[in-house]
Structures are given as structure tokens and as C-alpha cells.
Amino acid sequence: MPPLSSLLLAAALSAAIAWAAHAAGSLSRRGATAALVVGTIAVATGAPWGGYLVTWFALTSVLSRLGRARKARHVAAIVAKGGTRDARQVFANGGVFALAALGTWWLAPDAHGHVLLAAAGAAALAAAGSDTWATEVGTWARATAWSLRTGRHVPAGTSGAISLPGTLGLAVGALLWTLTAAWLGVIEAAAIPAVLAGALAGATVDTLLGAWGQARRWCDRCDGATEQAVHVCGASTRASGGYPWLDNDAVNLAATVTGALVAMLLIR
Ligand SMILES: [Zn+2]
């Protein structure tokens, strides 16, 4: 376990970043508290883990902001949550990474478990990151998107939809996040293929679950699909398919768990 001084320093640094993100509108109040927990664990684990999380958070926040106004017109009526992340979203994206980081605290520095947990943590965050890239790039490009489930054209940004720019964004995101983990020293170069495979598998599970399992809702007033319980028009929506408990956060959690497991299975 890291010494108390390291923990306090990590908490102070994470609090500053979480507060700034809250002030900038990237995190809700409870989202900032969750980020403080995840951030403290990551930073206390060491500079590579802390640096990876901070880089991930900064880049995905910037990506969400780029062209937010432009995107808002296209997806405001569909997606359940906007650019402000709440506590559930923070844990869905960063929870597995934090657990992997925490696990290393009780291992000897030369234990093989370090290699496994580092691959798991890096792949979990890379999976969440590449899914974010896929969604943001696909939405930003106003790409023609198809629903995997129905094969029909749907608005870009719809869960379970695929588009050419979105799929390219996913692949590039998975590669960039894996290389960033290696560059920052979270993983060794030998672990790159396993982590990349984990990231791709996780982001793919995200898309597949989004297409078939995720709760779908319908607004009768607007006669349109949405993920919102209360639509932007003010009308209550009704369930129209999928599992009611499988919301976007649960799908993200499944993606990060998949990424971590695949990376650990493939590591040598
Ligand atoms: Zn409506």
C-alpha cells in the first residue's frame, strides 16, 4: 500500500482536477466526488497510472466539447445524458481501471500479477476511450449510421448504430489509447497486442449490447426513439425493447470488464 503522504498528495491533486472539471461543466457534483476516488487510487498507484487516467479524462472531455453545439442539434433528443458526467458514468468508465490499480497495492513489485492487472486496467480504459471516440467521431462527422439490429438508417449517436467514421474512430482510438498506456509506462511493449485486442473487444461488446440489449424507449408525442425517460419535449416515454435495467452505464461497465478480461487472457 502507498504511504499516507502519497495518498494525501494523490487526493489533493485529484481534488484539484475534479473541481476544475466540475467548474467547467464536465462533471456533476457527485461525478466529481467519484472522480476524486478513482483519481486518488490511480495517482497513488504511480505516475504512469495517474498520468494515463488524467490524459484519458482530459482528452475525452475535450473531445466531448469539440463541436458540442454542432452535435447537440443532432443527438439532444436521443441520448440519455449530455456532456456532464455523473457518478455512475465515472464508475462505469473508470471503475475497473481503479480496481486493477488498487489490486497492485498488495502485490510484490516483481509479481506477475502486476503485468496482468496493468493489462486489465489499460485495456478497460482503452475500451471505454475507443468507444467514446467512435461515438464522438461518428456523431461529429454527421455520418450515415445504420442500426445493427434493424439494418435501417438511424441518427448518428444512437446506441448500437455503426457508421464508417465511427468505426474508424473506434479502431484509431483503441490503438492510440493502447500506445499511450505503453508510452506512459502502465504496460510493457510486450503487452500491446493483448491490450489492443482487449480494447477492441470491449468497444465491440459496447456496440453489440447497445444494439440488442440496451433499454430502448419511445416518445409517442414525437413518434421517435430515445434513451431518455422524460423526453426533451417534456413527455414521458415508454419502454419499447431491450432490458430495462441495461442502460448506457451498464453497457459501458460491461465493455470495460470485457476489455480487462480479454487482455488478461491474452497476456503471456
Ligand atoms: Zn418527445
pLDDT in tens, the chain (268 residues): 888 999 999 999 999 999 999 998 889 999 999 999 999 999 999 999 999 999 999 888 888 777 566 566 666 666 666 667 889 999 999 999 999 999 999 998 788 899 999 999 999 999 998 988 888 888 777 778 888 888 888 877 677 788 888 889 899 999 999 999 999 999 999 999 999 999 999 999 998 898 888 888 899 998 888 888 888 888 999 988 888 888 889 999 999 999 999 999 999 7
Please list, residue by residue across 38-58, b when 16 or more beta carbons sit within 10 angstroms of its beta carbon and e when fewer do.
bbbbbbbbbebbbbbbbbbbe
Ligand 1 centroid, distance to 219 Cα (angstroms): 5
In 3D space, the residue among 209, 198, 190, 216 whose CA is nearest the CA of residue 259 turns out to be 198
Ligand 1 centroid, distance to 247 Cα (angstroms): 19
Ligand 1 centroid, distance to 29 Cα (angstroms): 28
Ligand 1 centroid, distance to 215 Cα (angstroms): 17
* H/E run at residue 225: strand 224-226
What is the pTM assigned to this prediction?
Answer: 0.88
Grid cell listed for 163: 457508421
Q: What is the pLDDT of residues 203-230, one digit of tens each?
A: 999 988 988 888 888 999 988 888 888 8
Ligand 1 centroid, distance to 70 Cα (angstroms): 20
Ligand 1 centroid, distance to 233 Cα (angstroms): 4
The pLDDT, as a whole number, for residue 227 is 81
Q: Are 130 and 177 in contact (CB under 8 A)?
A: yes
The pLDDT, as a whole number, for residue 119 is 97
Distance CA 185, CA 20 (A): 26
Those residues whose C-beta lies under 8 Å from the C-beta of residue 203, and which sit 6 or more positions away, are 127, 130, 131, 134, 170, 173, 174, 255, 259
In 3D space, the residue among 207, 123, 101, 96 whose CA is nearest the CA of residue 158 turns out to be 207
Q: Are strands 153-154 and 145-147 parallel, antiparallel or unpaired?
A: antiparallel
Distance CA 116, CA 165 (A): 32
Helical residues (DSSP H) of 185-243, grouped into ranges: 192-212
| Residue ranges of domains in the chain | 4-266
Ligand 1 centroid, distance to 237 Cα (angstroms): 7
In 3-state terms the chain splits into helix, strand, coil percentages (rounded to 5) of 65, 10, 25
Ligand 1 centroid, distance to 17 Cα (angstroms): 36
Ligand 1 centroid, distance to 216 Cα (angstroms): 14
The pLDDT, as a whole number, for residue 53 is 96
The pLDDT, as a whole number, for residue 120 is 98
